[in-house]
Structure 1
């Protein structure tokens, strides 16, 4: 066959476009379609906190095991989501069944006669010290800061330490194979090589620096619109054996089409590729990726696209290679009845965060952004890995 030689300007145009946009498709995908036929996991569950008549908003939970204690952290507001006066609280358990009454980790401060808004931003431990992170911004989502407090017993905490990065994290620091820590934000992913997680944070993003000055729940719309992208936010990453970091992103608002997007880094989080759409289904919610002790990759989230924003069922999906997540299990799908309506309160299983500890997978979720629940399942009790009918 005779080779066709393209004019040099066409060749250069193709190379330029391809380089600017990164890969033009993503191999990362799932095969979830509906709940029908998907096996249910055997689980244990415990309600960590359900409010009475006050402090009715509870969301953004995370879980860790530290010095023989399970510690849960979350955002706690009076009625509405992310309103002035929102604080960060925590609860402690020795058995993950019985939980202490919540205690305040951080309270908002006054800014021009209005309280700021605090958002729980994850937990991390190193060298016998526990670190709790939380973000802060003012009423109109400006002056964004990331703070941390430390503890040696999970009960008593230091004064606030400024992390000197302007973001509200989606997940707390997670470690790459090199030991580098990376925070998954909305569209920025700060990193540090300080193992304590308390200093040296450097901003990193797939957007040019000129398009943003801070990263919070109001700032991800503008840079996306300027580049012709849907509103991308709330990332979670995993790292494959070739050291590539794969950061999946939620799409929300009018841009939602039922799919996650992807940006990747081949230099340990310094630079990120132009985002592309994946064939990984999503209900418009936060999710969490990780890796099991047997080296399989996992996803916990809401892959249903038939009931937008209902955030049910909560699903575990597994992958052998980090590309096709084809083993699906229902973690939970029981409904929770909302006690008191509030701004943006809703979603049966909201914002899951996970932890693997001593042969169990722990999943902490908010229920209708009102109560906080912990769910656990034994990894050696996973049912058959055969693909159910209708989920091929």
Structure 2
């Protein structure tokens, strides 16, 4: 059973030089296709969508979520290129995680910019689809905002509305695809705020996750890039002391993670520090199993390679001492079939969700095939 999060007195930036967690030397970098890891027990992978001639061949940013007995997958898609002018959001759903409906558009092609996948949430009765909106800009840093649509049946959707602060004003930033609830019910994620993309933790006590958002206090790591924070695209997990750890991609090219800690349910955070946790400088996923076991899913290659896809686990969230292979290189990786800007081999931008007896991970293979991998939760628990 997860311990309740404690409301502790906390000074912003205190102990900000102490890494929030550590990772044992689990990976063999002389074996780049597998890192020398065993396969996760009971692991199985399924295809949500694989393009054929005439289909959109760029597919990326896969986010999974369960609602009313179905598992939903949302992703961004374009005919050829990453962030091409025809980029929009599609979704599919499945009754079993194995068999998926044909893609359905959630947004339409927009002549003033593009839309990309923002993730999901539900209050139990209504499904929320977040949409990242990126207007065209002739100059200045890349930036966007967040809208949402709702549905009670997963088929019919409300008109888009802005995600708002507690003041009612729209949040001027793009949401991270990782809205989840603390044991108290408070929702936690991050937005990449304007001007540019400045990663900032956010929380709300609105069960629907549509309004009431407040920015957590966190001092970003200094960087020379005025248009983007050094830390971006975070995910988070609990530790056994009830602290929340947010882990970030490090744009500085260390190929390790940055991490910050909150002891007060996301209201204040330590300044992110570098953790010796290998990464591919890409989006990641983190969380906790039902028994509190913390996990991180990423490509721990220590380079730009997004091969293999790995889950790394910790009984307490302080020391990660087990790792398993979810997808590997070699025969497991299909060849890239279509050209496109910024396309690359590997398993990109994983996001995970618990559903039933399984942990599911969604990702884009070669940034063209939408896939999911699942593993039994019971087999991941430490004996």
Q: TM-score interval w.r.t. the shorter chain?
A: 0.7 to 0.9
Question: Which residue matches 1:24?
Answer: 17
Q: How many residues align?
A: 346
Check if 1:191 corresponds to 2:203: yes
Q: TM-score, normalised by structure 2?
A: 0.84
Instruction: Please show how residues 1-392 of structure 1 align to structure 2 within 5 Å.
Output: 22-31=15-24, 32-34=26-28, 35-41=34-40, 42-53=42-53, 54-111=55-112, 116-140=113-137, 144-163=144-163, 164-186=170-192, 187-204=199-216, 206-207=218-219, 224-225=223-224, 231-252=230-251, 255-305=252-302, 308-333=303-328, 334-382=332-380
Q: Is the 8 A contact 2:258 2:274 kept in 1?
A: yes
CA 1:188 to 1:341, structure 2 compared with 1: closer, same or farther past 3 Å? same
Task: Classify 1:230/1:102 alpha carbon distance in 2 versus 1 (closer, same or farther; 3 Å).
Answer: closer
Q: Distance in 2 between the 1:205 and 1:343 partners?
A: 36
Cα distance between partner residues in 1 of 2:234 and 2:79: 27
In structure 2, C-alpha distance between the alignment counterparts of 1:61 and 1:367, rounded to whole Å: 10
Distance 1:342 1:365 in 2: 18
Contact kept in structure 2, 1:206 and 1:274, CA below 8 Å: yes
Residue 378 of structure 1, CA deviation:
1.4
Q: Which has the higher helix share?
A: 1
Looking at CA atoms only, which structure, 1 or 2, has the larger radius of gyration?
1
For the 8 Å contact 1:122–1:173, the answer to whether it is kept is yes
Report the Cα offset of residue 203 of structure 1: 2.8
Q: Offset at 1:198?
A: 1.3
Measure, in 2, the Cα distance between the counterparts of 1:19 and 1:268: 13
C-alpha displacement of 1:346: 1.2
Secondary structure of the corresponding residue to residue 380 of structure 1 = helix
Instruction: Quote the offset at 1:104 in angstroms.
Output: 0.5
Q: In the TM superposition, what whole-angstrom CA distance separates every residue of 1:358-381 from its partner, at most 9, and x where no partner exists?
A: 221111110111110011111334
Summarize deviations over 1:58-112 as a string: whole Å, max 9, x none: 111111121111111011122111232211110011122221110111124333x
Structure 1 residue 237: Cα displacement:
1.0
Q: CA deviation at 1:205?
A: 5.1
Of stretches 178-187 and 354-363 in structure 1, the one that deviates more from structure 2 is 178-187
Please state how far the C-alpha of 1:246 moved relative to its aligned partner: 0.9
Q: Work out the CA distance in 1 between the residues paired with 2:317 and 2:188.
A: 19
DSSP-derived class of the 2:214 partner: coil
Tell me: CA distance 1:143–1:297, structure 2 relative to 1, closer, same or farther (3 Å).
closer
Structure 1 residue 343, shift from structure 2 partner = 1.2
